């Protein structure tokens, strides 16, 4: 999962158009360079578009926005097929965008 921080979001917003296009192009190249390992990926809509359902109460409660306010937001994910955690870590080290990558096995 690609995790965006407040700082990263501010830096991206402050970029000029050419710099922002170059940043997005780097992400496109990363996906192209690793296409043989990526089985699925998506970019999530901004956090303010989230709807959260809390199921830890007697009745489910639906609210607009994220479950909790945070300084870090999952902005997208890629499903990859790799041999082991070491290969996943090597792949994550090359990610050119959000400053945090969370790796989880899927079952």
Domain boundaries, the chain: 2-101
The reported pLDDT for the residue numbered 99 is 92
Query: How far apart are the two ends of the chain, measured CA to CA in Å?
Result: 16
Q: What is the CATH number of domain 2-101?
A: 3.30.70.1060
The reported pLDDT for the residue numbered 68 is 60
How far is Cα 75 from Cα 91, in angstroms, rounded to an integer? 18
How far is Cα 4 from Cα 12, in angstroms, rounded to an integer? 10
| Predicted confidence (pLDDT) per residue in 6-59, tens digit | 899 899 999 999 999 999 999 999 999 999 999 999 998 887 888 888 888 899
> Average of pLDDT values for 59-83?
83
The reported pLDDT for the residue numbered 29 is 98
């Amino acid at each position: 999962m690609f995790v965006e921080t407040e700082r990263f979001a501010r830096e991206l917003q402050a970029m000029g158009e050419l710099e922002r296009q170059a940043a997005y192009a780097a992400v496109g190249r990363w996906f192209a360079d690793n296409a043989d390992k990526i089985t699925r990926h998506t970019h999530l809509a901004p956090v303010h578009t989230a709807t959260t359902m809390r199921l830890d109460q007697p009745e489910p409660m639906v609210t607009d926005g994220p479950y909790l306010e945070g300084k870090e937001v999952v902005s997208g994910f890629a499903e990859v097929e790799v041999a082991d955690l070491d290969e996943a870590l090597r792949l994550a080290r090359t990610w050119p965008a959000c400053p945090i990558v969370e790796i989880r096995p899927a079952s």
